[in-house]
Amino acid sequence: MIKTGFIIRVLFITLLFFISACTSVESKNSLSDSTSTVIKKRAEMAKCPDWKSGHTIKIIKNTILASTCSYQQVSFSIEKENIIFDCQGANLNGLKQQQPNPLFVAYSESSAPRNWAFSVWKSGVKIKNCHIKNYLDGIVIRSRMSKQQHQMLRQKKKVNLIESQLRANSPKNIIISNTLIENSHKHGLYVQRYAHHVHFINSQIKFSGNSAIYLDSGTQYNLIKHSYFYKNGYTSYKNKKHIRTPKLPTAEREAIAVDSSAYNIFVGNTFENNGKGAIFLYKNCFEKHKEPNQLPRFQHTNFNKIKNNRFINERYGVWLASRQSKQLSRFKCGDPLMYKENGLFGSRKYYYDYAKNNQVINNRFKDVIFGIVVEDDNNQLIRNHFSGYSKRDILIGTAYRSKIKKQIVKGIFLKKNQRQGANLKITYLYGSTPVQLSVYPN
C-alpha cells in the first residue's frame, strides 16, 4: 500500500505546478498600460453611432456617447419620458465647419446651421456633459397646443383652464448639467410656453446671438444655478438669407430673458460682458398681435428670486419691468396702451409692464453701469454689494406710468445694500419711495 504521506506530497507538488502554469499564462496574456489605453479608446470609438450629417435622430432610450464622438449638423429629438442623454464630453456641431461665418458672410443653403442640437418633447429628461456649438438654438424645451386651445387663448376665453391644461401636458423636470453651449446663432436654451421645472446647472452659455436663455410665457419654477454666461446678445441671424449681422446697441439682448415667467430661481451664477445686460424681467406686450400665430401673455413676471450671483462689466445687471418705459411702437403690441405721444416721426407708444414680488438678494456687482433697475412695485433688494465703476447702483422709478398715470413705483423693500469703500449710489425717480424692512429673508 502507498503511504498516506507520499500521496499528500504528490498532491502538493501537482498543485504548485498548476498555480505556476496559470501565473505564466496570465503573465503572457497581460497588457502594458499603453496597450490597454489603445484598446480602451478603440472600444470608446465603437460606441459612436453612425449618425449622418443633416439627420434628426429620434431618441427613445438612454444614450451614452464616448468622449471621442463628434457630429456635424446632427439634431436629436427626445420623444420619450425619463431619458438620459450623456455626451461624456462629445462634440455636437450645428455646422460642418468649426466656427460660424464672419458677420455679413452668408452660409449656403447646405452649410447653414441646424435648428437645434436637442429638441425635448417629454418630461424627466436629463442632458449632461455635452459640448454644443453653432446651432440656431442649442436646446429647445418644446410645448404642444391644439388649434382650439390656441384660438381660445387668442380670444381670451377660459384662460385659466386652458393654461392649466397646457402646463400639465408640457415638459417638466428637465435637467441640463455640465454642458457648454456656445456660438448659438439665436439662443442657447429656449424654454417654450408652459414648460416648467427646467434646471440648468453647472453649465455655460457663451456667444449666443440673442439671449443665452429665454423663458417664454407661462413657464414656471425653473432653476438656473452655478452657471456662467459670457458675451451673449450681440448679433442677429436672418433665416432666409442665412446671415449674421451685428445688433444695434439699442437692440442688444440680455443674457437671460424672463418673459411672463414666474417662480424661477437664479442662484450662484456669473454674468460677464453680455450685450444689454444680465437678467431682465418683463411681460411681452402681445407683440405682432395681428399675426394669427401670436398669443397674448397672461402671466406676470412675479415671484422670482435672484440670489448669490456675480455681475461683471454689464450695462445693466438686474432690470425689473425692463419694458415699462420702453418705446414699443414698432413691436405692434396688442396689450392696452398706457401712453401715447405724437412726434415728427410718428407716435411713440408705451405699455404696462409687470414684475412684482421679486427678490434680489446677496448679489455682487462689479463695474456694472446700472446695477439694479426697478420699474414695478413690491420688490425686495437685500444685501447686494457694489464695487468698481457705476453710474447708479440702484435706480428706482418709472417715467410714463408715474408722470402720466400718476402711479409711482412703491413698496420697494431695501435692506443692507452697500458699496465698497463709498456711499451707495441710489436714486429714486418720479416720486418713488423705498420701504425699510425690519425682517428679511435668508
Note the pLDDT tens digit of each residue in 115-147.
Answer: 999 999 999 999 999 999 999 999 999 999 999
Query: Distance (Å, rounded) from C-alpha 52 to C-alpha 69?
Result: 13
Q: Which of 181, 195, 310 is nearest to 259 (CA)?
A: 195
Asked whether 309 and 274 are in contact (CB, 8 A), the reply is no
User: What's the N-to-C CA distance of the chain in angstroms?
Assistant: 91
* pLDDT at res. 226: 98
Query: Distance (Å, rounded) from C-alpha 19 to C-alpha 32?
Result: 22
Query: Distance (Å, rounded) from C-alpha 235 to C-alpha 249?
Result: 10
CA dihedral 399, 402, 408, 409 (to 10 degrees): -30
What CATH number does domain 58-436 carry, 3.30.450.20, 2.160.20.10, 1.10.10.10, 3.40.50.300?
A: 2.160.20.10
Q: Is 320's pLDDT higher than 90?
A: yes
Q: Is the four-CA dihedral 252, 256, 262, 267 of positive or negative sign? A: negative
> Where in the chain are the domains?
58-436
Q: How high is the mean pLDDT of the chain?
A: 90
* pLDDT at res. 346: 82
pLDDT band at 406 (very low <50, low <70, confident <90, very high): confident
Q: How many CA atoms lie within 13 A of 132 on its CB side?
A: 39
Q: 141 vs 23, 122, 132, 222, CA distance in Å?
A: 57, 9, 15, 12
Identity at 193, one-letter amino acid code: R
Helix axes 159-169 and 147-154, enclosed angle (nearest 10)? 140
Q: Which of 130, 111, 132 is nearest to 188 (CA)?
A: 132
Asked whether 133 and 181 are in contact (CB, 8 A), the reply is yes
* Mean local confidence (pLDDT), 291-311: 97
Judged by average pLDDT, the poorest of 34-43, 173-182, 342-351, 428-437 is 34-43
Asked whether 393 and 386 are in contact (CB, 8 A), the reply is yes
pLDDT band at 29 (very low <50, low <70, confident <90, very high): very low
Query: Distance (Å, rounded) from C-alpha 430 to C-alpha 411?
Result: 14
Q: Indicate the burial class of 13 (C-beta count within 10 angstroms; 0-12, 13-18, 19 or more).
A: exposed
* Mean local confidence (pLDDT), 348-370: 98
* pLDDT at res. 9: 53
Predicted structure pTM score? 0.89
CB atoms within 10 A of CB 126: 17
Q: Does residue 31 or residue 331 have the better pLDDT?
A: 331
Q: Which of 238, 241, 139 is nearest to 182 (CA)?
A: 139
Query: Distance (Å, rounded) from C-alpha 361 to C-alpha 140?
Result: 29
Q: Is 213's pLDDT higher than 80?
A: yes
Judged by average pLDDT, the poorest of 22-36, 235-249, 270-284, 293-307 is 22-36
| Residue 343 Ramachandran class (φ > 0 left, ψ -120 to 50 alpha, else beta) | beta
**Residue written as cell 462629445?**
90
* pLDDT at res. 403: 85
